[in-house]
Amino acid sequence: MPKISVIILTKNRAEKLGAALNSVGRQSLRDFEVVVVNDGSTDSTLEVIEKFKNSTIEKLKIINHEISQGITASRQEALQQSSGEYVAILDDDDEWVDPNKLKKQAEFLDKHPEVVLCGGGIKIAANSKYQAVRFRPQGDGQIRRTMLLRNNFFTSTVMFRRQAALAAGGFVSDAIDLGEDYDLWLRLGQRGKMANLPEVFTIYRQPDYNKERFAAFLRKQNTLVQQYRRQYPYFWLSRIILTVRMFFKGLKP
C-alpha cells in the first residue's frame, strides 16, 4: 500500500495536464500512487496521461469515463479507488511548485495524528505571471472560527487522511456539482483538527466562472453555511456576507 494517493480529475485540458503530472513526478517522496480520472475528455487528454505510465510516474491508475460523470462523482470514484494512507488532490490546471510538498505534509500528519486535513499556500497564476501569494489561517482554532466565512483550504494544496474522508462520506453529489471539496472539509473538521502549513505548495490558476456558474457556487456555499451552522461559529455573519454577495449578483438568498 502506498503512503499517499494523489488524485487528479481532468477533462479536456490536455495542454495543461502534462505540467500537473510533471510536478507530481518531481516530488522527492516517491511512496505514492496517482489516480487520474479522465472524465469524458474529447481531446488528447488520454494520450497525455498514458505517456506518464511506467515512466515519470511509476504507479499510475487511469479511470477513463466515456461519458462525463461530473466533478463530484469523479472525485468520489478516485477516492474509493485510492489505497494510500493519505490523499493529496491536484487539479489538472494547477501544479505543485515545491518538490517536497508531499514529504512535508506526510511528515506533518505522521507527527500530528489529531490532524485530519492540512493544506498550504498558493501562487496565483494569470497571463503566464504569478500575481500574488495567498495563505489561509494556520491553526485549527483560526481555521474553525472562519470556516463558514470562506473555504479555508486551497484544494490543490490539501492532504487528508483517507479513512477519515471515507468515514465522513467522501465527496457527496448533488444537483449543483460544485463546492464538493468545501463540503468534505467541513465534515472532516468534525472528525479532527485542521491545519495549513505556512509554505507555498501550488501554482493556482483561477477558474473562469461565467455568471451562471458563479451564481451556482454562491448557492452551494449558502446551502453549506446553513447545513453546518451548529458545527462552526459566525453563522449569522456568514449569512449576511453571502446575502450581500448574492444581492449584488441579482440572486435570491
Per-residue pLDDT at 129: 59
Per-residue pLDDT at 212: 81
For 110, the enclosing helix (H) or strand (E) is helix 101-111
Per-residue pLDDT at 249: 66
Per-residue pLDDT at 210: 72
The amino acid that residue 103 corresponds to is K
Give the whole-angstrom CA distance, residue 9 versus residue 41: 11
Per-residue pLDDT at 130: 59
Q: What is the CATH number of domain 4-207?
A: 3.90.550.10
Q: What is the pLDDT of residues 5-62, one digit of tens each?
A: 999 999 999 999 999 999 999 999 999 999 999 999 999 999 999 989 867 788 999 9
Per-residue pLDDT at 81: 97
pTM of the model: 0.94
Per-residue pLDDT at 205: 86
Comparing CA positions, the residue from 128, 108, 144, 130 lying closest to residue 202 is: 130
Per-residue pLDDT at 243: 86
Q: Where are the domains of the chain?
A: 4-207, 209-253
Per-residue pLDDT at 217: 86
The grid coordinates listed for 157 are 494544496
Within the chain, which residues score under 50 in pLDDT?
none
